[in-house]
Amino acid sequence: MDKLIITAAICGAEVTKEHNPAVPYTVEEIVREAKSAVDAGAAIVHLHVREDDGTPTQSKARFKENIDAILKACPEVILIPSTGGAVGMSPEERLQPTELPIEMATLDCGTLNFGDEVFENTLPMMRAFGKRMIERNIKPEYECFEMGHVEAVLDMVRKQQSPGAPLHFNFVLGVPGAAKATINNLVWMVNAIPQGSTWCATGVGRHEFPLAAHAIAMGGHVRVGFEDNLYLERGVLAKSNGELVAKVVRMAKELGREVANFAEAREILGLKQK
């Protein structure tokens, strides 16, 4: 079993300081939260960016500013900028981070109900995102919220419309309106991906740590962070993303799974060593 790769999704596009005062907006706050996660054991930071007032943005310039600042503080970290952005953004807007010299990015794999809104990811959009990542030599993290999303990815890969093996998936379960965060759903999706692929589990809200425990035991990897969950335990707001990562590190230790460092995570994911 590979060592455990921990990803920290440090701010997302939806949560605000009203939900938890520690949610980062400014470059300085995002660096603070990235470093807290890395210091606690995260090898990957999944990155959304905000304007200083908290407004989500996919601005190429804002991403560059944040990426440069994070890498100055955490030079070995693996960054996965989001091409999901926020609900309602255009494909062109969402693709802006891929114009930068990045090694990974997310690729959302299907339209879904996202609470009371619709997160649009049509097949033509997905093919356009896949084409961009082929052209720019960017490894996708395939974001799958339902089983149909897995099938869509595999079809695109077979048709060479998106980067191929080794594939890396993130199974995001528990979004209101999409697949529930159950062990049966996780196992179903894991069993559908090609041998040699890697995968990560993301449980939304109160499902974050129960799903993480299943992923650790199954040999997968884990994502936690303010984007998905703001609480360390019921009724207790996390003071930092680092607290959420540290809890997963403790869980992994109890389950006998070692945590991957940066170099080990790169090897597992098939990325170049820094």
pLDDT tens per residue across span 85-102: 999 999 999 999 999 999
Is residue 16 in some structural domain? yes
pLDDT per residue as tens digits for the range 104-151 = 999 999 999 998 999 999 999 999 999 999 999 999 999 999 999 999
Please list the residues that pair with 40 across neighbouring strands.
none
**Mean pLDDT score across all residues of the chain:** 97
Asked whether the predicted pLDDT for residue 256 surpasses 90, the reply is yes
Q: What is the arithmetic mean of pLDDT over 43-51? A: 98
Is residue 274 in some structural domain? no
Structural domain span for residue 84: 6-269
Q: How far apart are CA 171 and CA 206, in angstroms?
A: 16
Q: How many CB atoms are located within 10 Å of the residue 89 CB?
A: 18
Q: What DSSP line would sit under 99-153, residue for residue?
A: GS--SEEEEE-S-EEETTEEE---HHHHHHHHHHHHHHT-EEEEEESSHHHHHHH
> Among all chains, which residue has been given the structure tokens 């990155």?
47
Our count of domains for the chain comes to 1
Banded pLDDT at 200 (limits 50, 70, 90): very high
Banded pLDDT at 29 (limits 50, 70, 90): very high
Q: What is the arithmetic mean of pLDDT over 163-190? A: 97
Residue 60: what pLDDT?
A: 98
Residue 164: what pLDDT?
A: 96
Is residue 37 in some structural domain? yes
The Cα diameter of the chain in Å comes to 47
Residue 1: what pLDDT?
A: 85
Q: How far apart are CA 50 and CA 30, in angstroms?
A: 9
Is residue 39 in some structural domain? yes
Is residue 111 in some structural domain? yes
CATH number, domain with residue 181: 3.20.20.70
What predicted TM-score, i.e. pTM, was given to this entire model?
Answer: 0.97
Asked whether the predicted pLDDT for residue 244 surpasses 90, the reply is yes
Is residue 80 in some structural domain? yes
Is residue 1 in some structural domain? no
- 65 and 103 in contact (C-beta within 8 Å)? no
